[in-house]
Amino acid sequence: MSIPVEQAKGPISRKSSEKWGTQGSNSLRVPFDPEYIPGAHNAVNVCLRAQPTEQVCVITDDATIEIAAAIVAELEKIGSPYHAWVLEQLAPRPLKDLPREIVNDLEKSQVSIFAVQAQTNELRSRIQMTDVVNRKKIRHAHMVNINRQIMLEGMRADFARVDRLSQKVVEMVRKASKIRAKTAAGTDLTADLNPNYRWLKTSGIISPEKWGNLPGGEIFTTPGEVNGTFVIDGVVGDYLCAKFGSLNENPLTVRMKENRLTEAHSENRELEDDFWKYTHTDENSDRVGEFAIGTNIDLKDVIGQILQDEKYPGVHIAFGNPYGAHTGAEWDSTTHIDVVGRKFNIWVDDEQIMRDGKFLVEV
């Protein structure tokens, strides 16, 4: 199975009344692994619920084009009109800004999919993209660093079941004043919650109100204040994830006071230095902007890929951008880096909802 890819600076496009088409005559066909089909079907039909009447904007890159091919094949099956863009055909990587062609296409789309491998210093272009997504209320699937393993694992989750659990947990935390998290590895932190900040559910079922990462499975807010220690024996996010992978053997330990990062230590000094530099990019890069609980109960362990690992059952936090357009936080940052641990015990106020990484909530 394959997707036509335009080699000129234009999108692959399909109108609902025609078969495969491109805006030029010079195209190629990209075969894809049929093992991608279940995950691609989930993305298009379950998570995004794309309709034949809706315009879809698909954004990919050379490294991810095979996965994009599987997704576009699913759009073909339901007859959705689309444009598919390959970043390297529009601008040099890493991107300084989101290409104007993509911005214009997003302005006319009801659904969008971003399946791309992250490169250093491209967060600005992704924020430009999500600014349009937020303003136009596009149902947007954010699939940064999607790969074969994630397509065969996290993207095959029962997202209806994940959504039921996510809904139960988010209803509990919305009433709470604090959440405590501990692990045997040494994590011990408390998040005092701000009642003025909203909790969001991104379970994989994507709505116009909030775009979501795929695979989905988390609830999150901007915390009022986080204090304590987080032993990051899972992964760190953004481009550091690809560089360092799973941290199970060499964890990074961070300490927070009054919602600011105060210390970061690891036997891997390069990791320690890179993380510290990243979290001191601007005045709020060291500020806890996100407090989240992963709810994808079909995931069995951390794999060293932040896109999937932040959905792994447990607590993760992020330093930097608080997604204020959704949570209500009034501050901002140009950076956002998630950190993930393993096998949490979690208490919402005084009620324990997770023990050793297993939810105690019935679904």
Q: Could you tell me if 222 and 291 are in contact, meaning their C-beta atoms sit under 8 angstroms apart? A: yes
pLDDT for the residue 12: 58
CA distance 199 to 328: 9
Q: What is the mean pLDDT of residues 5-34?
A: 48
Average pLDDT in the 225-238 region? 97
319 pLDDT higher than 70: yes
**Above pLDDT 70, what percent of the chain?**
92
* Phi, psi torsion values for 274, nearest 5 degrees: -65, -40
Cα angle 117, 118, 119 (rounded to 5 degrees) comes to 120
- CB neighbour class for 127 (10 Å; exposed up to 12, middle 13-18, buried from 19): middle
Provide mean pLDDT across the span 135-160. Answer: 96
pLDDT of residue 197: 98
Query: Which pLDDT score is estimated for 1?
Result: 43
φ, ψ dihedrals at 122, nearest 5°: -105, 5
The model's pTM:
0.83
Rounded to an integer, the average pLDDT of 131-136 is 96
> Distance between CA 10 and CA 77 in Å, rounded?
23
pLDDT at residue 8 greater than cutoff 70: no
Mean pLDDT over all residues of the chain? 91
What residues pair up with 340 in beta bridges, in sequence order? 235, 316
Number of other CB atoms surrounding residue 254 within 10 Å: 27
Residue 13 confidence (pLDDT)? 56
> How many angstroms separate the CA atoms of 316 and 293, rounded?
6
Angle between helices 100-107 and 123-136 (to 10 degrees): 20
User: What confidence tier does 7 reach under pLDDT thresholds 50, 70, 90?
Assistant: very low
Burial 226-241 (b: 16+ CB within 10 A, else e): bbbebbbbbbbbbbbb
Residue 288 CB contacts under 8 Å (≥ 6 apart), including other chains: 223, 226, 256, 259, 260, 261, 317, 318, 319
Q: What does the alpha-carbon distance between residue 263 and residue 63 come to, in Å, rounded to a whole number?
A: 36
Q: How confident is the model at residue 123 (pLDDT cuts 50, 70, 90)?
A: confident
Neighbours of 186 (CB within 10 A): 13
In this prediction, residue 11 carries a pLDDT of 59
The answer to whether the CB of 113 falls within 8 A of the CB of 48 is yes
The DSSP line for 175-222 is T-SEEEEEETTS-EEEEE--TTSPPEEESS--BTTB-EESS--EEEE-
Instruction: Give the three-state DSSP class for 97.
Output: coil
When pLDDT is cut at 50, 70 and 90, the band that residue 24 belongs to is very low
Quote the CA–CA distance of 194 and 346 in Å, as a whole number: 18
pLDDT, average across residues 228-232: 98
pLDDT(277) > 70: yes
The predicted structure's pLDDT at residue 30: 85
Burial class (CB in 10 A: 0-12, 13-18, 19+), 74: buried
On the question of pLDDT at 14 being above 70, the answer is no
- Proportion of the chain above pLDDT 90, given as a percent: 86
> Does residue 17 register a pLDDT over 50?
no
Q: What angle do CA 221, 226, 230 make, to 5 degrees?
A: 105
Residues 118, 120, 123, 128: is their CA dihedral positive or negative?
A: negative
pLDDT band (50, 70, 90) for residue 10: low
pLDDT over threshold 80, residue 19: no
> Tokens 């690992």 identify what position?
309
Q: Using pLDDT thresholds of 50, 70 and 90, give the confidence band for residue 120.
A: confident
pLDDT at 121: 87
Instruction: Give the residue-averaged pLDDT of 46-69.
Output: 96
